Amino acid sequence: MKVFVTGGTGFVGSHLVEALLNRGDDVVCLVRDPAKLKRRFPQDAPRSIEGDLNNMEALRSGCEGADAVFHSAALTMARNRAEFFSVNVEATQRVVDAAAATAPDLQRFVYISSQSAGGPSHRGVCKTETDPAEPISDYGESKLAGEKVVQQSGLPWTVLRPPGVYGPHDTAFLTVFKLARLGFLPLFGDGLQELSLIHIADLVDALLRSSLPVTASHTYFTCHPDTITSSQFALTIHRAVKHTGGRAPRPFVLRVPAWAARATMHVTGSAARLVGKATMLSPDKAKELLAEAWTCSSAALERDTGWQASISHEEGLQQTADWYKEHGWL
């Protein structure tokens, strides 16, 4: 099976590429930096095409004759709304156009979206695919718009909406692990925000199943069935770091009130704009960080494919901490 992957050097994309190679697929990756791909895959690296999402020639070359396309590349931090839409919507349209023009036998176009596209939930109530999509950030709105590009493409498509993804090679949660190693656990709001999460291995398994015939023209949330509060999440990370044998003092939980979090992110966001940098700590991101719940249900995907997340939060976070420690990241 010939598979084209965008974002193949990213956290999710690289794990997906690894699984596709292990499955015996002929994998082609779009990469801006071939050296980065070589570092991630020092042996038996996939074929690569140098270019980015603005390079239509590279996209056509990658999609040519593909049986499946996995569009993983996305912008998760941006200086403004226009940047989010430029990459997450307009570039998605280019990938779709390239696939439509050069992959006549395409079996599936898989778009890796985000829980942010569906919007937050309420405490005690997990969001499902039948609920209205109500994103509350520029990022979430851009990912929802990207979904619509794919859904209206005329290609055989599947959309997956994972929540927070963690595991080996992840850098997004690394800071939390490093702070936990120092015994410092900052929490925005009251620490009772409810979360859905997924380990990267479980997400990759879902991605591999997303090209099954039954998933065509469906959008799925993809998460572990157990929810966790932000406070529980931080404390579980602290225990995991402590179990690696590293230094992890008694945890000091600092709850940052909502008003203080908004003020802080207004300052950091303004400072980032002044120097032309993107930051996760922006006023727009504060809306997501302070929502009462980000929980979803993957019952539809389980029903249709038999998939189920098997790695518990406790086990997965411990595995992640162990990997960070082993590779000198922690």
Tens digits of residue pLDDT in 255-310 = 777 777 777 766 676 666 667 666 666 767 778 888 999 999 999 999 999 999 99
What is the model's pLDDT at position 45? 87
What is the model's pLDDT at position 57? 97
DSSP code of 191? Answer: S
Find all residues with CB under 8 Å of 309, minimum gap 6, and list them.
198, 199, 202, 206, 222, 223, 224, 225, 298
> Is 111 a residue of the active site?
no
What is the model's pLDDT at position 217? 97
The gap between the terminal CA atoms of the chain, to the nearest Å, is 38
Q: What is the pTM of this model?
A: 0.93
Please say if the pLDDT value at position 133 is more than 80: yes
Q: Are 226 and 313 in contact (CB under 8 A)?
A: yes
For residue 290, give Cα distances in angstroms to 60, 110, 174, 188, 205.
Answer: 41, 30, 20, 7, 30
In DSSP terms, 184 is beta-bridged to 252
Q: Which of 111, 139, 220, 324 is catalytic?
A: 139
Q: Which of 61-65, 150-154, 266-270 has the lowest mean pLDDT?
A: 266-270
The span from the CA of 159 to the CA of 221, in Å, is 9
The span from the CA of 219 to the CA of 297, in Å, is 12
In DSSP terms, 110 is beta-bridged to 70, 158
DSSP secondary structure letters along 110-178: EEE--HHHH--BBTTB-B-TTSPP---SHHHHHHHHHHHHHHTSSS-EEEEE--EEESTT--TTHHHHH
Domain ranges of the chain: 2-170+198-224+295-310
Phi, psi of 31 (to 5 degrees): -135, 140
What is the model's pLDDT at position 241? 94
Q: Which of 25, 124, 32, 16 is nearest to 66 (CA)?
A: 25
The span from the CA of 61 to the CA of 47, in Å, is 12
The span from the CA of 266 to the CA of 284, in Å, is 9
The arithmetic mean of pLDDT across residues 161-180, rounded, is 95
Tens digits of residue pLDDT in 192-240 = 999 999 999 999 999 999 999 999 999 999 999 999 999 999 999 999 9
103: Cα within 13 Å, side-chain hemisphere: 27
DSSP secondary structure letters along 240-282: HHHHTTS--PSPEEEEE-HHHHHHHHHHHHHHHHHTT---SSS
The arithmetic mean of pLDDT across residues 37-55, rounded, is 93
303: exposed, middle or buried (Cβ count in 10 Å: 0-12, 13-18, 19+): exposed
Q: Specify the fold of 2-170+198-224+295-310.
A: Rossmann fold (3.40.50)
CB atoms within 10 A of CB 211: 20
What is the model's pLDDT at position 272? 60
